């Protein structure tokens, strides 16, 4: 990943968390001062072939001993989910336990979130979409325990809804619990980093593909235009394309 200019680092208030499950990638990003935390989930872990959940998590925590790291429960029964959450929380003082906002039966996890937060577990309530969900979660969080609410702004945008005012409203309602932070989850483009920053969102989770685009911030558009033209020309030449033209 190419480093963006230092003035960009100074301008942004939103914290950038890296989203992924590749240990080599996590190791590289842990050394980058722009990355303030890490998140993962069972889907990302499965995609890279992780088979031992706890062993993977402990490896991550050796690489990232101090910054926030989120690991997700995977049970669908709330009693089992609670047991998993307490176990995951025991792995490190910097661990946030990801709890889905509902189970697969559409049953709310808010009562579980209330119990865990009340026990001092730093939850990261994930797969949140609606403001009603965000409000219900905020209402039950312990005011003394840090917490995260992950609203999937990118997926909201996929439905044709502008997530910017949606996220701004979430920031506002979460002010009732100052230790709770809002994540702009599932971003679709680099511009979302600046969207999140503009509405006061605390954190944005960013994939490696988007992180790699940080070097483009403030790039001269005429230079970028020329590079694009050069790319088209180079690829056509290397492909050996030709068009017979009339001499008339």
Tokens 């997926």 correspond to: 155
Give catalytic status of residue 98 as yes or no.
yes
CA distance 150 to 88: 18
CA distance 32 to 215: 13
End-to-end Cα spacing for the chain = 51
| Angular region, 142: left φ>0, alpha ψ -120 to 50, beta rest | beta
Instruction: Write the CB contacts of 163 (distance below 8 Å, at least 6 apart in sequence).
Output: 151, 153, 154, 156, 157, 184, 195
Q: 116, 70, 114: which is closest to 92 by C-alpha?
A: 70
Catalytic residue among 15, 98, 177, 179: 98
Q: 125, 123, 138: which is closest to 169 by C-alpha?
A: 138
Report the catalytic residues. 98
């Amino acid at each position: 990943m190419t480093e963006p200019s230092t003035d960009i680092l100074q301008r942004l208030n939103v914290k950038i968390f890296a989203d992924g499950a590749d240990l080599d990638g996590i190791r590289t990003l842990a050394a980058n001062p722009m990355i303030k935390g890490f998140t993962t989930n069972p889907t990302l872990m499965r995609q890279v072939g992780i088979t031992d959940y706890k062993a993977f998590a402990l490896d991550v925590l050796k690489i990232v001993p101090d910054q926030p790291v989120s690991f997700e429960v995977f049970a669908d029964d709330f009693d089992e989910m609670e047991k998993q959450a307490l176990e995951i929380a025991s792995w490190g003082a910097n661990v946030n336990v990801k709890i889905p906002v509902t189970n697969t039966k559409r049953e709310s996890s808010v009562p579980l979130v209330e119990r865990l937060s009340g026990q001092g577990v730093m939850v990261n309530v994930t797969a949140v979409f609606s403001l009603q969900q965000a409000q219900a979660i905020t209402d039950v969080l312990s005011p003394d325990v840090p917490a995260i609410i992950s609203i999937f702004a990118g997926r909201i945008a996929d439905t044709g809804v502008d997530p910017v005012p949606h996220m701004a409203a979430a920031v506002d309602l979460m002010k009732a619990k100052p230790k709770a932070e809002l994540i702009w989850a599932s971003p679709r483009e680099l511009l979302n980093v600046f969207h999140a920053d503009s509405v006061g969102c605390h954190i944005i989770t960013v994939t490696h593909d988007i992180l790699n685009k940080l070097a483009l911030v403030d790039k001269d558009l005429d230079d970028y235009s020329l590079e694009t033209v050069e790319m088209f020309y180079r690829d056509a030449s290397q492909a050996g394309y030709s068009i017979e033209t009339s001499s008339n």
